Amino acid sequence: MADRFFSFLIYPPEHELQPLEECRSHGEQTIRYCFYNPSTLTKEMSGKIYFAHQFYFADISNGHAAYSYHAAKPDLNFQLGVHYINHGDLNRTDVYGNSQGSFKAKETDFYIGASKIIKERLSVGLNLQMIFSNLDGYTSSGMAFNSGVNYFNPEKNYSLTLLFKNAGFQLSKYNNESENLPLKFNWALPKTKTSTLIYHISLQHLEKWNVRYDDPDLNDNSNLFGDVTKTNPLKKRSERC
């Protein structure tokens, strides 16, 4: 995701959330999934607090803290929290690689969200996010949102989820050039078989329809005299087989 800005948004603060961030299993009344999918926020989670922090190598660490609340009057479930990453001390060097000390880098995402049950089994949710990035003396900021739609079937104990993540834009830029946020459009189906067995099927990055791989071996080549030789892709593939 090096071609995206605020790429820390794709890294969950718990390793368990990496494959299952789209949806939680029914009966698990925890708010740790709701940052990624606000439609799973329920009134049973009201008053709950969540905190997680993990350490990577090279003094890199990230974490997440959240609080949820149910408002009876508009019948809405609210949450607020912060997601952050600290990149630690980074070496500062000149163009020749000579050390000139160190500097710090960190990124923070403050968010507030809400969910509502619009039918007995169907709920929707939305998070609004304010994102800040600090790299030494340089700063950047952005705004984004996560939105989700969740359907739950209690008889068959499965859910269906559609989720838009990290849709947004930069408010201030490092170098006056706009960069994209790590947008994701996912579909997921988790089903609980037993109290200890849950299987999860998901389709990720549905916003990307062109998934062709640019194989450098299939590109045109130049010989010693500078002449371009065309490569027939079908012939090349048949030779590989």
Higher local confidence (pLDDT), 79 or 23: 79
Predicted confidence (pLDDT) per residue in 12-61, tens digit: 766 666 555 555 555 566 788 888 889 989 888 999 999 988 888 878 88
Q: What is the separation of C-alpha 213 from the centre of its chain, rounded to a whole number of angstroms?
A: 23
Long-range contacts of 65-69 (CB under 8 A, 24+ apart): 66/31, 66/32, 66/34, 66/35, 67/31, 68/31, 68/34, 68/41
Q: Check residue 195 and give its pLDDT.
A: 64
Domain ranges in the chain are: 7-211
pTM: 0.77
**Quick check: 75 pLDDT over 70?**
yes
**Quick check: 234 pLDDT over 50?**
no
Whether residue 91 contacts residue 105, with contact meaning beta carbons closer than 8 Å, is answered with: no
Higher local confidence (pLDDT), 157 or 78: 78
The class (CATH top level) of 7-211 is mainly beta
Q: Among 53-62, 102-111, 199-208, name the one with the lowest average pLDDT.
A: 199-208
